[in-house]
Amino acid sequence: MLVEREKQFKNYEMMVVFKPLLPDDLRKSIHKEFMDMMEQGGGEVLDVDVWGKRYLSFKIQGHNEGYYIVYNFRGLPKNINEMKRLLQLKQEILRFMIVESDNPGAIGKGIKKKEIEV
């Protein structure tokens, strides 16, 4: 039964680009909300990689820069659409993308979620 459930889980990578002038405490609270959302859906956050502030190739909503965070997680495919819907409602996010990861061996080798400084 446990093996059957494990097969239902898939590996995902999610990149989120926040507005660059967002206060740190607000960005941290949204980050915590994402972490909780992923875990409440039965998933597991494997890795979080904070890229920080970077220039964008083109303006998004009038911004030249964005604050990047990449999440690697395992989750159920049925929860991804709900996660996308909730991300679209966040005004603090310029862009996001969730893709299924082809290389699960590369996931979970970076900064662990307990060591993160968003």
Secondary structure letter of residue 110 according to DSSP: S
Q: Taking the model in full, what pTM does it have?
A: 0.78
Which of these ranges, 71-80, 86-95, 97-106, has the smallest mean pLDDT?
97-106
Task: Evaluate whether 76 touches 41 at the Cβ level (below 8 Å).
Answer: yes
Tokens of 81: 């659409």
pLDDT at 54 over 90: yes
Q: What is the mean pLDDT of residues 71-77?
A: 90
Choose from 60-64, 79-83, 102-106 the range with maximum mean pLDDT: 60-64
Looking at the domain 2-102, which fold is it?
A: Alpha-Beta Plaits (3.30.70)
pLDDT at 25 over 80: yes
- Distance of alpha carbon 75 from the chain centroid: 12
Pairing of strands 44-60, 10-18: unpaired
- For the chain, give every domain's residue range: 2-102
pLDDT of the residue at 93: 93
What DSSP element (H or E) covers 38? helix 24-40
